[in-house]
Amino acid sequence: MNEKEEYKLNTRGIRPTAMRILVLKYLTNLRHTTSLLDLETHFITSDRSTLFRTLKTFEEKGIIHKIDDGTGVIKYGLCTETCDCSLKEQHFHFYCEKCTETFCLNHVKIPFLELPKNFILKQSNLVLKGVCSNCN
């Protein structure tokens, strides 16, 4: 029943513990991104540091990526199967002003930007704002 999650964790070099499987499952079923607070509310019996460590491990191994959507709360989005978290994987995010959730627009990639000479792009936090399809 947990085969998909176990496989995904294994291929990313993460030992599939019960907690990690549960968190991954939760993230997979979620349409929007998550935050530590969101996980704490959902996994009420787990302690904060365990959840935080799970997020950290997932981030380090490329299961999720961190998003700064300008709300002051760090959000985490699920990476696609083939994501290597490189620049070419960077995509726009969408913040819904109604439900205050942030979504990964995995298919809306950040276009190639011509930067001034000797400027090196490392990361981009491009967040679109509006109303999502659930709220519209």
Kindly state the smallest distance separating residue 117's Cβ from Zn ion, in Å. 29
- Tell whether residue 79 is a contact of Zn ion (CB under 5 A): yes
Q: How far is the CB of 32 from Zn ion (least distance, A)?
A: 8
Print the binding letters for residues 94-123 with Zn ion: x by CB under 5 A, - otherwise: --x-xx----x-------------------
CA dist., res. 79 & res. 9, Å (int): 12
77 belongs to the binding site for Zn ion (CB under 5 A): yes
Structure tokens at 123: 């990361």
Residues 50-69 that bind Zn ion (CB under 5 A): 62, 65
CB 79 → Zn ion: shortest distance, Å? Answer: 3
Q: Which residues bind Zn ion (CB under 5 A)?
A: 62, 65, 77, 79, 83, 85, 96, 98-99, 104, 132, 134-135
